[in-house]
Each structure stands twice: as C-alpha cells, then as structure tokens.
Amino acid sequence: MNKSFLAVLISATVFAAPLKAEDAYEYIETPKSNQVDDLLDEDKDGVINARDLCPQTPRSADIDNDGCGTYIKTEEEMSLHILFANDSDVIQPAFLTQIREMSEFLESYPSTSIELQGYASKVGNPEYNKALSERRAESVQSALLSNGVDSSRVRIVGFGDTNLEALGDDEVSHARNRKVVATVVGHKGNVKEEWSIFTKIEK
C-alpha cells in the first residue's frame, strides 16, 4: 500500500471519530495579572520604586542595591591669627584678607560657627587688658559681619593677659600676645558619582 495513501487514511479515521463527553472542556479565560509592586523607577537610578530606599538619589550618584548613594565625608579647617598694635583694637590692612577668606569659609559650611578669642600682652592693668582683648575680638566680629557672616554664628571671648602664647617680657613676646585667634572645622558630605566614559581621573 502506498505510504501517502496510508497517512491520508489514518488522518481521515482520526478526524472522523465522534467526540466523547470526557473530551469536551469548558472555555477558561486567560487570568489577568495583579501587579502589586510599583515597577516604575522615578529617579532613574536603575532601582524600581518598590525597592528604592532613597527615592531622591541624584542622577549621577554611585548607588547600592537599595538605590542609596555612597557619601564621602570631607573635613576642612581654617584659622584666624590677627595681630594688633600696642593698646589698639584697630585691624591692620594686612589682616583683612584673612577675614575675607574666613567669611567665605563660613559661607561654604553654613552649619559651623566661630569663637573669636581676644588676647592682650602682659603690660598694664589686668582689668584693662581684659576689656582691650574683648574690643579686639569685637573688631574682628564687626569685620566678619560686614563680609556677610550672620551675627548668630559669631561668639567673642576676651582672655586679657592670661593664656599667653609667649611668656617673655621683651617686645617681640608682647607683640605675639596682642592678637585675636580662631579655628573653624567644617564638615561636608558629598555623593560619590558613578564612573562613566566622561569621568576624569585625578592625576
């Protein structure tokens, strides 16, 4: 018998067979998915909203699996050291640059404050020297305020002729003790940026 004819005969027999009751199935609709999680990524950092613990991450930040950026803490320090003439609270022009730079530093670190410590040489009356050291600190304070520093961030204290830097009784020692000093430490946290083809490597 021809193989082609045999195949046709088998096919006809199968399709001609009547359907039995157990061969019939009811139509079942395709189930609709119930999306529970938010699959959007609003800050476009590669982590979906449902898993993003830091939803406002900057676009270029180097992030972890939770969508949070890596922060690098930096610390910077600046000091003032202003000398005065004998029995004077007038700031000499040579020290105005220091005051301007300190004002800019305080602007860069808005959470910091400054304590101006005034001193006087051990010449004359101690009570007068204490008042003189306070006036010197006030002069520096006024100069900082004129450069835009808020008064609430500046504190003054006068030490008079105590806690001296130089203990000698010569003119050089006295000159070193007629001063206003201050040190400010600023802290800042920056988000580490992810590497890209445009990243510049510091030399």
pTM strictly above 0.85? no
Residue 9 falls within a domain, yes or no?
no
Give percent of the chain with pLDDT exceeding 70: 59
pLDDT digits (tens, 9 = 90+) for 73-94: 667 899 999 999 999 999 999 9
Q: What is the pLDDT of residues 35-54, one digit of tens each?
A: 666 666 666 666 666 666 56
Instruction: Say yes or no: 76 and 64 in one domain.
Output: no
The reply to whether 91 falls in a domain is yes
For 163, the domain range is 72-191
pLDDT given at position 198: 42
Residue 199 resides in a domain: no
Comparing 69-73, 83-87, 142-146, the range with the smallest average pLDDT is 69-73
Identify whether 5 is part of a domain. Answer: no
**CA atoms 11, 16, 20, 25: torsion sign:** positive
177 belongs to a structural domain: yes
Q: Name the phi and psi angles at 172, rounded to 5.
A: -65, -45
Q: Which of 69, 92, 123 is at the close of a domain?
A: 69
Q: Same domain, yes or no, for 130 and 145? A: yes
Q: Clarify whether residues 57 and 130 are in a common domain.
A: no
Q: Are residues 87 and 153 in the same domain?
A: yes
pLDDT the model gives residue 147: 96
CATH number of the domain at 131, please: 3.30.1330.60
Total number of domains in the chain: 2
59 and 158 together in one domain: no
Looking at the structure, tell me whether residues 76 and 165 fall in a common domain.
yes
Give one DSSP letter per residue of the chain, joined into a string: --HHHHHHHHHHHHHHSPPPGGG-----PPPPP---S----TT-SSS-TTT-S-TT--TTB-B-TTSPBPEEEEEEEEEEEEE--TT--PPPGGGHHHHHHHHHHHHHSTT--EEEEE---S-S-HHHHHHHHHHHHHHHHHHHHHTT--GGGEEEEE-TTSS-S---SSHHHHHHHSEEEEEEEEEEEEEPBPP-TTPPPP-
CA angle, 83 as apex, 77 and 88 as ends, to 5°? 140
Q: Which residue has the higher pLDDT, 190 or 172?
A: 172
Please indicate, yes or no, whether residues 82 and 172 belong to a single structural domain of this protein: yes
**Residues 164, 98 share a domain:** yes
Tell me: pLDDT of 25 over 80. no
Residues 144, 77 share a domain:
yes
Same domain? 98 vs 176: yes
pLDDT in tens, 171-188: 999 999 999 999 998 876
